[in-house]
Amino acid sequence: MEPSALRKAGSEQEEGFVEPPRRVAELGMVSNLRRSNSSLFKGWRPQCPFGNDKQESLSSWIPENIKKKECVYFVESSKLSDAGKVVCQCGYTREQHLEEATKPDTFQGTRWDPKKHVQEMPTDAFGDIVFTGLSQEVKKYVRVSQDTPSSTIYHLMTQHWGLDVPNLLISVTGGAKNFNMKPRLKSIFRRGLVKVAQTTGAWIITGGSHAGVMKQVGEAVRDFSLSSSYKEGEVITIGVATWGTVHRREGLIHPTGSFPAEYILDEDGQGNLTCLDSNHSHFILVDDGTHGQYGVEIPLRTRLEKFISEQTKERGGVAIKIPIVCVVLEGGPGTLQTIYNATTNGTPCVVVEGSGRVADVIAQVANLPVSDITVSLIQQKLSVFFQEMFETFTESRIVEWTKKIQDIVRRRQLLTVFREGKDGQQDVDVAILQALLKASRSQDHFGHENWDHQLKLAVAWNRVDIARSEIFTDEWQWKPSDLHPMMTAALISNKPEFVKLFLENGVQLKEFVTWDTLLYLYENLEPSCLFHSKLQKMHHVAQVLRELLGDFTQPLYPRPWHSDRPRLLLPVSHIKLNVQGVSLRSLYKRSSGHVTFTMDPVRDLLIWAIVQNRRELAGIIWAQSQDCIAAALACSKILKELSKEEEDTDSSEEMLALAEECEHRAIGVFTECYRKDEERAQKLLIRVSEAWGKTTCLQLALEAKDMKFVSHGGIQAFLTKVWWGQLCVDNGLWRVTLCMLAFPLLLTGLISFREKRLQGVSSPVARARAFFTAPVVVFHLNILSYFAFLCLFAYVLMVDFQPTPSWCECAIYLWLFSLVCEETRQLFYDPDECGLMKKAALYFSDFWNKLDVGAILLFVAGLTCRLIPATLYPGRVILSLDFILFCLRLMHIFTVSKTLGPKIIIVKRMMKDVFFFLFLLAVWVVSFGVAKQAILIHNERRVDWLFRGAVYHSYLTIFGQIPGYIDGRSRAPWEKQERGWKGAARGLFQVNTLTSRCRSLLPDSYTFQQVQEHTDQIWKFQRHDLIEEYHSRPAAPPPFILLSHLQLFIKRVILKTPAKRHKQLKNKLEKNEEAALLSWEIYLKENYLQNQQFQQKQRPEQKIEDISNKVDAMVDLLDLDPLKRSGSMEQRLASLEEQVAQTARALHWIVKTLRASGFGSEVDVPTLASQKAVEEPDTELGGRKKMEEPGDSYHVNARHLLYPNCPITRFPVPNEKVPWETEFLIYDPPFYTAERKDAAAMDPMGENPMGRTGLRGRGSLSCFGPNHTLYPMVTRWRRNEDGAICRKSIKKMLEVLVVKLPLSEHWALPGGSREPGETLPRKLKRILRQEHWLSFENLLTRGMEVYKGYMDDPRNTDNAWIETVAISVHFQDQNDAELNRLNSNLHACDSGASIRWQVVDRRIPLYANHKTLLQKVAAEFGAHY
């Protein structure tokens, strides 16, 4: 088809989709042909827009739904074009207008008005765009009218352009012209911005031009090789620019779309216009029908960003709104307007200090009180930062800037100033995240093979510096998939720096790790690796990992059937990689269609690195992990198990060192979490991790014997919380003991509980159950029971041991039987389903369990002998010895004590050394005894006498007891002749014994010192076992525990109910809650890693770099403007003066109180201001969300620049100019009075009692002067399903009746203005049945008036304002008849209206002035707000 035929076809198609009127359609077609005669006819490329379904769909949908703006009336302007031609008021020349526009009949003789003389027509510029000579990547663009609905543009981007809904929207604004930026600050900005975009899948919205901040963003995207053709890690950069300021835009025009349009970036010939940036992926070109007018896109961009931020995206089953953040660099008047619009719409802003102009002005005053931001101060700042154009600032413009900056700073929760190296901020990404959290608390190509070969060489040389400087440059844009083969090579050859480099340049582990990749990695394990040999024996990775992690975990990989292809079996012969050998690209070409096969690919890669003991590689991968605490603890467990089997000593020590490092990482992240939120950090401990075999962090730490982790204060606090059950931790033991001995004391409030429902005395059964099931109570009851058992046992042995067992002895038998049942229960208690053999092995691995079994078996033996009359006495001896074992069991009971527990551990550890030295001592004792016996006594044949002479007598000699006759036997005559031999031998024996005892003391002292250092950790680690034992132990002590055992027997054996671990020690969270918790953990892990990086910079090898940075910083300080430094000093001095003044007031109050001989009233105590702005709202009766600074007590809502529901803009009125008494010569507010049917025609004019508002007239109110309104606030207590009142932060929670009318974005109180002579407001009548009006009037008369007076409303003007009466109608009882009658009579008259009971909270979507009234009601009832 010839081009002419195509043009004809295009014209015919255009005529088909254009709507009437016919004349406008013809004008639009001619306009298209006239404006594009250079590009459409001369440079138009042959193309077939109908050959592609997507292009055909786009060519039909866009003109029908998206319009452009066209001037239809030529009025000559006094200005000339750049070429010296006559132009219209719209900026276009006569030739660029329609023929009908130059001689219109309709508008003859009228002045040019853009509202009348600029009309919408179907757009003629859309499709694909390619930047000639720069990149072959195809971008998207569209020309839209400035009045295009945001929903239409959003539909175009998500449905036709195929963009995924973003997780974050980053709006970058600032200087539109090129500006100088410090290299370090530029690097920080680029790195931080791209890092956030990579990790969150965000859309970045800029002005789209190749200049200023837009160029900075484009170069950041280019430098980090972020391609928009990949779903994971893709960065969408959308440029919203003004159509009338785009240079060479004629080449973008075609009636049916350009696929693609070639665009030439010509900076030299752009003049006053600007070029599009080639690094942006999508362009929205906003048209208002004018030429050369900048800033046209700002309103549409603001509306679009707000619309996108109001959309919801379902992620992990949770529908959340898309967060948005505005990042500001430099900028001029347009930037200030953008920031103002963003904060007005509730968008958080991050201002980069040091970038210049507007950003620096706002940064300088951001921490000042609003009252201190005066016109003179802003004038001074403008003279500093706008030196070149300061003379162009008029007084009215400075006033306008002051008002906007005041409004911006007033919303401090939305403003974050990024200061390089200050406030603990390390990068822009941290500032962006802090801004979001802060706001949320308030609300294959040419030359590819060549580049690939160079990268292979760099990997083979292990020269990451060459790769960074020579390969990863602006000359080539790397795709993440192109780096996957070399990523595998770097992993196998253990080159962590390259792994880090590839991760920095876009490689996503979720895309990288596939079945084939992981199988290939395990096939290339090092042959010398211990895991390699174990894998050859067990043939499956899951088996080896189950053995290393323990049987308490579930298999990480399912055992595949033989028919399954992707399985991790025995590795084949080791394959070594080299540059010219195995080609990895074929592997990825074969597996590119596979999706990720496990729930956590980072976990699989981390395990692969850990089993090979690769420290740096494991650290890099762990930094990418999601469940990072569990991952670190699991790695510690694997490494410790491998070190036990490792024969190489060096390798074993390296494994233990890496295990300790993993433990330190877990401690570091948990510390960050615990500092941030103790409750959520403790949830991480007991959360069931599906990725790590359905175990918990606490269980992994215990199995790995990570004593440092378990001894962490946060974990010990959690164990203490479990130990006390539902009791408060601060309860004294004496209180617990009293309540155990005297049960009725539970009803006196002596014991405090954590749960509020147990605080009252109305539920004695629940309090008793919570008290007696607490592990601490169970423990002390068992102690009392055990002491009673020992006392009774001792009494029977010493006093009441009869041939026939007495009732006391029978009680001992029953008692022991209950102990046997409890030990049996502990043996078979298997909530983790480890199996009987594993559980038995775990049971007998504990020393105290062995002692229990030994004592029980010895008791059975003694009982058997005791019941036989012939062996009654031996049975008594055995039982007496058994009593000693039962007494030794007390040592285990006292290990829970913080005082005795560590000492018992010291004794236990030292006993091991004592036994070795007792052996040496026994050598001397026996040798001396045998020699002595042989010398003094001849041929002694009695065995017991031999023992006495050889051992007993020698043992007594150690203590200096040397009797002449040990057993009373007279000495033989020949024994006297041997006295000399005996003395010599005894002396030698005593010397040797003394030497041995002195030697034994030295190791004991050394052991004591060593154990003493770690005793606290060991005790805290072993404390868990005792707590878990009594946590799962029945509440009743022996022998009453038999009743619990009977119940347990029925449940487990008869009813077959499986055992379950208590949620306090193992808890499986919901998917949504788990996803939120893990996201929070990831965020704090980033904080930990940043702190670690900071500490690493303090190493000696970083000294040279640190000196260089200090020199650079010194140069920057010397280059600072003196006035700029003085401004910072002024801020510090002002803050210091404020602190001194507050200190003086505090001292004055102290002196006054002391003089009065009392402590004074706490209400009068002056509160010292903190260094940071307080964000929590003030809860005083008449206060706002918070008490503003002095001077900001004037009405605020009534001075908003944009008047609601109309295009009127108020005259800016700064705080200092609000009072009528203050002189304001340039004050010239516009006049606006809306047409209302109910408006009073002859109302007198008056002045607003609160001061100037920036608008004269009646506005949208019904009359001049005060407009009286009534706001009934109908409230009730919020209750649970059981009828109990809900509480939050101790305070009760209220519910209020609210209504949402059609076309309204917020909920509102059912009040407002009233008809003349009526009592009830019109809004209330619209939701209430007429038959209930009289009854509600009676409720109002009985209600409580909480406020009467002026209301700060956006509709107020200088001559009309709202005065309101707020009446509280509260229903105390949920069964109140009036409340039930009210609920039955609620009915929305309008189909679009909604009614509901809304929880009273400061974050509810309610109008600001309504929130103020609700806050007073909440304060009146002492309720939560």
Structure tokens at 750: 């002596």
| CA distance linking residue 1308 with residue 1312, whole number of Å | 10
How do 318-321 and 312-315 pair as beta strands? Answer: antiparallel
Does the pLDDT at position 4 exceed 50? Answer: no
Cβ neighbour number for residue 624 with a 10 Å cutoff: 17
Does the pLDDT at position 451 exceed 50? Answer: yes
As a whole number, the mean pLDDT across the chain is: 75
| CA distance linking residue 1386 with residue 409, whole number of Å | 42
Average pLDDT in the 257-265 region?
Answer: 84
| Confidence label for 466 from pLDDT (cuts 50, 70 and 90) | low
19-54 residue pLDDT tens: 333 333 333 333 333 333 333 333 333 344 334 677
- Given a contact cutoff of 8 angstroms between Cβ atoms, the answer to whether 58 and 257 are in contact is yes
Report which of residues 502 and 99 the model is more confident about.
502
The pLDDT value given to residue 597: 38
Report which of residues 902 and 18 the model is more confident about.
902
Locus of tokens 């809650």: 1073
The pLDDT value given to residue 971: 46
The pLDDT value given to residue 632: 92
Q: Which of 1179, 1178, 1413 minimizes the C-alpha distance to 1296?
A: 1413
1297-1309 residue pLDDT tens: 888 877 676 778 8
| CA distance linking residue 842 with residue 46, whole number of Å | 79
Report which of residues 1402 and 1205 the model is more confident about.
1205
Cα(first)–Cα(last) distance of the chain, in Å? 72
| Confidence label for 1172 from pLDDT (cuts 50, 70 and 90) | very low
Q: Pick the range with the lowest mean pLDDT from 190-204, 777-791, 869-883, 1353-1367.
A: 190-204
The pLDDT value given to residue 1013: 61
The pLDDT value given to residue 423: 46
Report which of residues 641 and 9 the model is more confident about.
641
| Confidence label for 3 from pLDDT (cuts 50, 70 and 90) | very low
The pLDDT value given to residue 1169: 43
The pLDDT value given to residue 283: 92
Locus of tokens 């009453």: 1040
Average pLDDT in the 910-925 region?
Answer: 73
Average pLDDT in the 88-107 region?
Answer: 68
943-963 burial, b at 16+ Cβ within 10 Å, e below that, comes to eebeebbbbbbbbebbeeeee
The helix, strand and coil proportions of the chain, stated in percent and rounded to the nearest 5, come to: 55, 10, 35
Report which of residues 811 and 446 the model is more confident about.
811
pTM above 0.75, yes or no: no
Average pLDDT in the 768-788 region?
Answer: 86
Does the pLDDT at position 317 exceed 50? Answer: no
Task: Report the range out of 90-99, 173-182, 1073-1082, 1168-1177 with the highest average pLDDT.
Answer: 1073-1082
Q: Pick the range with the lowest mean pLDDT from 267-276, 798-807, 968-977, 1114-1123.
A: 968-977
Does the pLDDT at position 1177 exceed 60? Answer: no
The pLDDT value given to residue 1253: 92
| Confidence label for 964 from pLDDT (cuts 50, 70 and 90) | low
Does the pLDDT at position 84 exceed 80? Answer: no
Q: Pick the range with the lowest mean pLDDT from 488-502, 553-567, 750-764, 912-926.
A: 553-567
| Confidence label for 104 from pLDDT (cuts 50, 70 and 90) | low
Kindly tell me the burial class for residue 1205, based on how many C-beta atoms sit within 10 Å of its own C-beta (0-12, 13-18, 19 or more): exposed
| CA distance linking residue 476 with residue 458, whole number of Å | 16
Does the pLDDT at position 635 exceed 80? Answer: yes
Residues 6+ apart with CB under 8 A from 626: 600, 602, 691, 1078, 1081, 1082
| CA distance linking residue 393 with residue 379, whole number of Å | 9
Give me the DSSP letters along 262-300: EE---STT-TTSBPBPTT-SEEEEEE-S-SS-TTTHHHH
DSSP H or E run through 1313: strand 1312-1313
Backbone φ, ψ for residue 147 (5° rounding): -100, 10
1198-1208 residue pLDDT tens: 888 889 888 88
Q: Pick the range with the lowest mean pLDDT from 215-229, 588-602, 750-764, 1188-1202.
A: 588-602
| Confidence label for 1211 from pLDDT (cuts 50, 70 and 90) | very high
Average pLDDT in the 417-429 region?
Answer: 65
- Given a contact cutoff of 8 angstroms between Cβ atoms, the answer to whether 11 and 32 are in contact is no
DSSP state of 1326: T
1244-1285 residue pLDDT tens: 567 888 899 999 998 888 888 888 888 888 898 888 888 888
Average pLDDT in the 690-711 region?
Answer: 87
Does the pLDDT at position 1402 exceed 50? Answer: yes
Q: Which of 379, 371, 339 minimizes the C-alpha distance to 1217?
A: 371
Give me the DSSP letters along 575-604: ----TTS--SHHHHHHHTTPPP-SS-HHHH
- Given a contact cutoff of 8 angstroms between Cβ atoms, the answer to whether 1312 and 1323 are in contact is yes
The pLDDT value given to residue 1357: 92
| CA distance linking residue 566 with residue 547, whole number of Å | 22
In 330-465, the DSSP E strands lie at 349-352, 415-418
The pLDDT value given to residue 153: 92
Does the pLDDT at position 1116 exceed 70? Answer: no
Does the pLDDT at position 943 exceed 70? Answer: yes
108-164 residue pLDDT tens: 556 777 777 787 888 888 888 888 877 778 888 999 998 899 999 999 988 888 888
Report which of residues 1165 and 211 the model is more confident about.
211
Average pLDDT in the 330-337 region?
Answer: 84
| Confidence label for 1345 from pLDDT (cuts 50, 70 and 90) | confident
Q: Which of 329, 67, 120 minimizes the C-alpha distance to 207?
A: 329
| CA distance linking residue 1352 with residue 1185, whole number of Å | 13
Any long-range contacts for 266-271 (C-beta under 8 Å, 24+ apart)?
267/210, 271/82, 271/247
Q: What is the CA radius of gyration of the chain?
A: 42
Q: Pick the range with the lowest mean pLDDT from 541-550, 611-620, 932-941.
A: 932-941
